[in-house]
Amino acid sequence: MTFHVETKNNIAIVNFDLEGEKINKISTPVGEELEKVVKELSKQTLLKGMILISSKPDIFIAGADINEILAIQNVEEGIQKSAHAQRLPTLIESLPFPTVAAIDGACLGGGLELVLGFTYRIATNSDKTKLGLPEVSLGILPGMGGCCRLPEVVGLRPALDMILGAKVWPAIKCLKTGLVDEMVPKELLLSRAIEVIEKGLWKKRKKSKFSLLNLLLEKNRLGRSFIYKKAKESILQKTRGHYPAPLKALDVIYECLDRGLTDGLKKESEGFGLLVETETCKNLIGLFFQREATKKLTGSSNTSLKLQKIKHSAVIGAGAMGAGIAQLLSFKNISVRLKDVNELALGKGLAVCRKLYQELVDRRHLTSRELDQKMFLIGPTTEFRGFKRVDLVIEAVVEDLAVKQKLFSALESSVSKDAILATNTSSLSISDIAAQCQYKDRVVGMHFFNPVHKMPLVEIIVDPITSDQTVVTIVELTKQLGKVPVVVKNKPGFLVNRILMPYMNEAAYLLEEGIAPSIIDDVMLDFGMPMGPFTLLDSVGIDIAQKAAHVLHQTFGDRMKVHPILDQVIQAGYYGNKNQKGFYKREGKRRVENKAIYSVIGFKPKEQEYISDEWETRMVFQMINEAALCLEEKIVASPGELDMAMIFGIGFPPFRGGLMRYAHKLGVEKVVSELDILHRRYGERFKPASYFKNLAAQGGKIYADN
Ligand code: NAI
């Protein structure tokens, strides 16, 4: 039994407690059981109301059971499943008594769709209470009435924001948009829900707080068509048509508004059925499971290790990365000593942290009071003051081995013997950085990506001497920070940058052949990358990329020979966005190719009459081949983790399922034959990795499943 009903003063309290699971999920059997419970209650003439509450700590309903979605065989079955699930909120909506959803913890996907059928929603003010419809991130749309009901509750534009953007909102934002009617402390949740029914407070439920402009735009067809057009343009611009789900969801939302609930629900289940069968949906659900598997990784096979508690930390270097890391740690309530060489640098770093918090306040994810509390957790210093009590230090000073080495040896005498010493280096060997340290087992790499608050990946760099205790603690901390950890070996470039480098180098070869940077970038945008290689070079800094490219060349030899264009532009002072001298420049608001760079490299791109498919193949296959070499060298444990790293580190297109998943879909033989052709045509840098050759010889596959 999943639902337990108790009745108090003629109010039915339905406790949701999915048997044998840590979380509540909605599946067909669960929905059917609840339907039965609700139908029984509807017959009780004396009943004054019904409350739905979760018995699980910190979770209300996590969403629909994804395994059930994955098992859907065809469009027809998808339509039926959705139509069947839609019955439940519709039934609840039709009850003769008020219904209150008492929400503590996550209320997502099907969970939110269910409670949209309730008369009144109360949320707790806990950090864990979040409501959202993340379906489109799985390649589907909310198929349980969410597309139709959400716009009625919060207004069209906020609803589009949540559904098309797969957004999850904290309780405070839900309150402000009218998605929930009240926010209360956890302890008062049930008593308040009872009070709402007993005192008839649900009747005074405020309608959504639409502004006059919103009303004008949303409540007439013309205004709505305008919003529709803009939303469609924005989706197409962002996705280049690679993701069908947001487009379909947009159509369904409009159908609901124009034709009413009954027709809208029909359209919604049809849309769900069509989407669930797409390749994109299968890839995105595959990623979801891979992400769940990553959450279970601990970083060691030794299960008896005790995690170290990280309550107090220090960050050294208050620059772009250090400030971002300090903000993240404080956001998760870990105190931070932020150290830099002078007050000016500290002031700049603190201003960055405050700005990041202010953005959260502006987006209603945080209150101003919380901003002050979080900022209070960051204590600036130019000394090692307060370092004795920290559990972890993250170093993010300039990428200079001598500076980092000196710092690490000074650190040892300033911290307790148990403190973990992490470096955010993007290219240096962690054992070189710790060369002068006595206790190297507590030294680890924690490679965040830029900007820290946006990029989900953290590469955890492990040397043979790093203790398992250190690794598991840092893996756990990374998860606690809401990031995706991937454990990688301490070898130049680690994983993501190593795979990126030959790809960017190949873009330079294409430029040398006369293809303009904007065309090359466009080819990769069409492939689905969030930005093309030249835009990426400008944004990470051409100087940083060139430095890293030489380190990789030294380590891996001529396969990674740095294209001379990179050296030429650096010598001429072209560092990218940081000094506004890159492959692109700004002309007013527009970003245009910086033609001055062609006099530096000594030739101009040609007029292109056609786009060759081979350009994309060359760039993508450089990444695929390097990824295979990384697997061969056990830089990362599995293709699945590699795929996670590429998606969360540089935004490799999720709809393709990941870099190695993409190669898997092509098939090992096709990959080898393509590499053989490129090898003959362009030389050593395309020599197929033996990983592929071996797999092809054994008739093997990259992934065991399809
Ligand atoms: P940055 O130049 O913005 O900041 C470095 C900060 O360190 C400056 O505020 C500087 O005053 C301070 N600093 C220098 N020596 C110091 C010392 N001895 N003690 C205390 N503070 C000192 O550099 P950024 O970009 O933040 O990079 C920092 C580290 O993060 C580097 O190792 C870099 O390779 C790595 N990294 C950078 C990424 C990026 O995209 N910028 C991405 C991932 C890692």
Tokens found for residue 296? 């279970």
Q: List the Cα angle 235/237/240 in 5-degree steps.
A: 90
pLDDT at 220: 75
pLDDT of 209 above 60: no
Protein residue with its CA nearest to atom 31 in ligand 1 = 399
pLDDT at 200: 92
pLDDT tens-digit map of 616-635: 999 999 999 999 999 999 99
Q: List the Cα angle 368/371/374 in 5-degree steps.
A: 155
Least confident of 202-206, 360-364, 428-432: 202-206
Mean pLDDT of 394-408: 95
Rounded Cα distance between 60 and 45, Å, is 28
Nearest to 396 by CA among 324, 480, 330, 485: 324
pLDDT at 589: 84
Query: Which of ligand 1's atoms lies nearest the C-alpha of 399?
Result: 32
Residue 543 near residue 575 (C-beta atoms within 8 A): yes
With 0-12 CB in 10 A as exposed, 13-18 as middle and 19+ as buried, what is 296? exposed
Q: DSSP letter for 301, please.
A: S
Query: Which of ligand 1's atoms lies nearest the C-alpha of 317?
Result: 7
User: How far from the centroid of its chain's Cα atoms is residue 212's Cα?
Assistant: 34
Q: Which residues contact 689 (CB under 8 A, 6 or more apart)?
A: 625, 628, 629, 632
Tokens found for residue 574? 């072209």
Identity of residue 311: K
Query: Which of ligand 1's atoms lies nearest the C-alpha of 397?
Result: 7
Residue 582 near residue 542 (C-beta atoms within 8 A): yes
Residue 21 confidence class, pLDDT cut points 50, 70, 90: very high
pLDDT at 588: 86
Long-range CB contact pairs, 298-304, < 8 A, 24+? 298/472, 298/475, 298/476, 299/460, 299/462, 299/468, 299/471, 299/472, 299/474, 299/475, 299/485, 299/487, 300/468, 300/471, 300/472, 302/468, 302/472
As a whole number of Å, the end-to-end CA separation of the chain is 35
pLDDT tens-digit map of 577-627: 888 899 999 888 889 999 999 999 998 898 888 889 999 999 999 999 999
Please name each of the domains of the chain with its CATH number: 3-277 (3.90.226.10), 312-489 (3.40.50.720), 496-698 (1.10.1040.50)
Query: Which residue among 383, 397, 547, 579 is best mutated to probe the pocket of ligand 1, counting the most ligand atoms within 8 A of its Cβ?
Result: 397
Q: Tell me how far the alpha carbon of residue 323 lies from the centroid of ligand 1, in angstroms.
A: 9
Interhelix angle for 496-512 vs 542-556, to 10°?
100
Percent of the chain with pLDDT over 70: 98
Rounded Cα distance between 540 and 504, Å, is 12
Rounded Cα distance between 471 and 158, Å, is 41
Residue 653 near residue 240 (C-beta atoms within 8 A): no
Tokens found for residue 169? 């909102």
**Which residues form the pocket of ligand 1, taking CB atoms under 6 Å from any ligand atom?**
316-322, 339-341, 345, 396-399, 403, 407, 424-426, 448-450, 540
pLDDT tens-digit map of 97-145: 999 999 999 999 999 999 999 999 999 999 999 999 999 999 999 999 9
Residue 210 confidence class, pLDDT cut points 50, 70, 90: low
Residues with catalytic roles: 459
Query: Which of ligand 1's atoms lies nearest the C-alpha of 427?
Result: 34
Q: Tell me how far the alpha carbon of residue 18 lies from the centroid of ligand 1, in angstroms.
A: 48
How much is the pTM?
A: 0.87
List for the chain the helix, strand, coil content (%; round to 5): 55, 15, 30
Nearest to 645 by CA among 424, 430, 463, 455: 455
Q: Tell me how far the alpha carbon of residue 402 lies from the centroid of ligand 1, in angstroms.
A: 14
Residue 303 confidence class, pLDDT cut points 50, 70, 90: confident
pLDDT tens-digit map of 633-651: 999 999 999 999 999 999 9
pLDDT tens-digit map of 523-534: 999 999 999 999
pLDDT at 215: 63
Identity of residue 113: E
Strand order in the sheet with 335-339: 378-381, 335-339, 312-316, 392-395, 420-423, 443-448, 457-462, 484-489
Residue 242 near residue 655 (C-beta atoms within 8 A): yes
Q: HEC string of 394-441?
A: EECCCCCHHHHHHHHHHHHCCCCCCCEEEECCCCCCHHHHCCCCCCHH
Q: Tell me how far the alpha carbon of residue 399 lies from the centroid of ligand 1, in angstroms.
A: 6
Nearest to 527 by CA among 182, 281, 239: 239
Residue 445 near residue 466 (C-beta atoms within 8 A): no
Protein residue with its CA nearest to atom 9 in ligand 1 = 319
Residue 364 confidence class, pLDDT cut points 50, 70, 90: confident
Interhelix angle for 668-682 vs 659-666, to 10°?
100
Protein residue with its CA nearest to atom 15 in ligand 1 = 397
Average pLDDT, the chain: 94
Protein residue with its CA nearest to atom 28 in ligand 1 = 396
Q: Tell me how far the alpha carbon of residue 319 lies from the centroid of ligand 1, in angstroms.
A: 5
Protein residue with its CA nearest to atom 44 in ligand 1 = 426
Q: Which residues contact 110 (CB under 8 A, 6 or more apart)?
A: 25, 26, 61, 63, 64, 85, 142, 144
pLDDT at 212: 60
**How far are the Cα atoms of 412, 630, 697 from residue 660, in angstroms, in the given order?**
41, 12, 18
Residue 84 near residue 76 (C-beta atoms within 8 A): no
pLDDT tens-digit map of 544-559: 899 889 999 999 999 9
Is residue 182 helix, strand or coil? strand
Q: Tell me how far the alpha carbon of residue 267 lies from the centroid of ligand 1, in angstroms.
A: 52
pLDDT at 41: 97
With 0-12 CB in 10 A as exposed, 13-18 as middle and 19+ as buried, what is 521? buried
Query: Which residue among 315, 316, 321 is best mutated to probe the pocket of ligand 1, counting the most ligand atoms within 8 A of its Cβ?
Result: 321
Tokens found for residue 665? 């879909």
Query: Which of ligand 1's atoms lies nearest the C-alpha of 540?
Result: 40
